Amino acid sequence: MLGSIIALLVYLFIITYLGYLGYRHTKTSADYLVGGRQIHPMIMALSYGSTFISTSAIVGFGGAAGTLGMGLLWLTFLNIFVGIFVAFVIFGKRTRKMGHNLDAHTFPELLGNRFNSKFMQGFVGMIIFLFMPIYAAAVLKGGSDFIQTHFGISYEVSLLFFAAVVAVYVWMGGLKGVMYTDAFQGVIMFVGMVFLLVFAYSKLGGVTEAHSQLGALFEKPEVQLQTEKLVKGGFNGWISMPVWGSPIWWSLVTTIVMGVGIGVLAQPQLVVRFMTVKSNRELNRAVLSGGIFILMMTGVAFIVGALSNVLFFNESGKIAIVAAGGNDKIIPAFIKQFVPSWYGIIFFLALIAAAMSTLSSQFHAMGTAIGRDVYEKALNQKGNSIFITKTGILVAILISVLLAYMANKLDASMQIIATGTALFFGLCAASFLPAYIATLYIRNISAKAVLSGIITGFVVGIIWIFFVHEKEASSLQLCQLLFGKPSIVKDTVLTKLAMVDPIIIALPASVIATLIGALVSKNKVSEEHLNTCFKGI
């Protein structure tokens, strides 16, 4: 315990110093918002990766793999192919250049400046400010769960301590401070996950033996009793995909894999990273390092999460979710119970780094959304935008902490962290992805067409989340309050729709609305402005 405290103090000293460096080198709004557009490609790649990967991936999705199995590795594939290669090569280069051409400092500002629409910028900014706290709360819960387990303190104390530390350096240092600390935290995360992979396989006798034991585990009679409820939902073992079309299949494939794997392309806090480098060469150099980083972060978490069932069963006769006491407790319990105490300190720091790197970027994105996009641009208020941004960060932190506190009161068997993350990623994809593609690639599309797609995707997504998709609707309770059941389609001829994730409905609706808008409305942006937007692209 003393070693953990000393290591934590040293770690906090280093990130405080890096936050201070960010503060020292932040002279202008461009420095605070996009790091002065001079960030080194390695720092950008590590910042992107560590922002992308958080306790949601390691604790939340690692725990989901402990419950549902290695089918989550499809998410690793999408994270690398879509989240790194497609994002950097197809979206990143145009985003960087257009962001420079339009002097855009945020994702909403990129859209707003491209279509000369302050309303669009303000509307997108409000979506980010109001709904990103759901994702931030999931990350906060993951970090707080681990601190609680590691130190044996209350969840409430760990939550407040954790949020306070992040608040200090993101409020002080702007995006430079965030990216400096992200890079440092990314290195810690990488080292920690490499060791975890080696340890897990060596503990089980090697790769082949470990997977053989995991496959055989599902056949044991005592395990079949413990997985009876999962099997009814479509669970088919930890090394197999769930039964096609079952509730667990829909949850794994559409909510977790597709929701996060596609939604990553339209994450505002990630898009802004492309605007921080000075040329496409930096983005090309970042692809390989970013891909390796994501592979080690998600792949290791999902493999170890699934393999933990063997170790828990050998030790206690219980599968992971039963032994740990909940989906989100699997990885923290695994670390505490099985790994050497000295490594527990390293992994503790890696996990804290994962959470803090993501949270700092989330809070920065929410603060700039309200300060830059809503206050300064949409409302056309001059002066004090940095002060409003910093105030917005504090408000966003308070909302996120409240949501994380409430989430801890929900059923421990629920995949709260993974579901909260997937919910926000899916909502971003439905609301922003067609607009983002149109911004970068469709020269003569109208602002009305893009805005109609944003509004349609957002509205359909929200309706589906609150009233149709049972997994979220049952937790949010609004449908139960108004209609007396967890989903409006429950126990009707459309009851299977309650398993369908919002992204499956809302994203196509957004695309259709954008296309219809493009057919019925004309582009009113001048040719001169379009030439500025696409100069050098």
Residue 193 lies in a domain: yes
User: What percentage of the chain carries pLDDT values higher than 70?
Assistant: 87
Examine the pLDDT at 178 and tell me if it is beyond 80: no
Q: In this model, does residue 298 exceed pLDDT 80? A: yes
Residue 365: its pLDDT value, please? 85
Average pLDDT for residues 44-65, to the nearest whole number? 74
- Which residue range is the domain that position 267 belongs to? 2-417
- Indicate the pLDDT class of residue 23, thresholds 50, 70 and 90: low
Q: Residue 95 and residue 92: Cα distance in Å, rounded? A: 5
Confidence band for 202, pLDDT divided at 50, 70 and 90: very high
Provide mean pLDDT across the span 74-95: 90
Task: Establish if 197 belongs to a structural domain.
Answer: yes
Q: Which domain CATH number covers 125?
A: 1.20.1730.10
In this prediction, residue 431 carries a pLDDT of 96
Mean pLDDT, range 508-516, rounded to an integer: 97
pLDDT of residue 274: 81
Find the angle CA(440)-CA(444)-CA(445) to the nearest 5 degrees: 75
Does some domain include residue 464?
no
Residue 105 has pLDDT above 80, yes or no: yes
Neighbours of 346 (CB within 10 A): 18
Query: Which 3-state string (H, E, C) describes 173-185?
Result: HHHHHHHHHHHHH
Q: Which is nearest to 424 in space by CA: 487, 358, 508?
A: 358
CA distance 467 to 471: 10
Least confident of 109-123, 167-181, 209-223, 463-477: 167-181
459 within domain boundaries: no
pLDDT classification of 537: cutoffs 50, 70, 90: confident
In this structure, is residue 368 part of a structural domain? yes
Q: What pLDDT, on a 0 to 100 scale, did the predictor assign at position 53?
A: 67
Is 220 within the bounds of a domain?
yes
The token pair that represents 464 in the structure block:
């589906």
pLDDT digits (tens, 9 = 90+) for 342-370: 777 777 777 777 777 677 778 878 988 99
Tokens of 149: 């387990």
pLDDT for residue 514: 97
Is pTM beyond 0.75 here? yes
Determine, yes or no, domain membership for 480: no
Domain count, the chain: 1
Closest by CA to 311, choosing from 294, 335, 288, 281, is: 335
Top pLDDT among 99 and 413 is at 99
**Is position 524 within any domain?**
no
Query: Is pLDDT larger for residue 94 or for residue 3?
Result: 94
For residues 394 and 170, the answer to whether their CB atoms sit within 8 Å is no
Residues 6 or more apart from 485 whose CB is under 8 A from it? 479, 491
Going by the DSSP 8-state scheme, the letter that residue 241 receives in this structure is: P
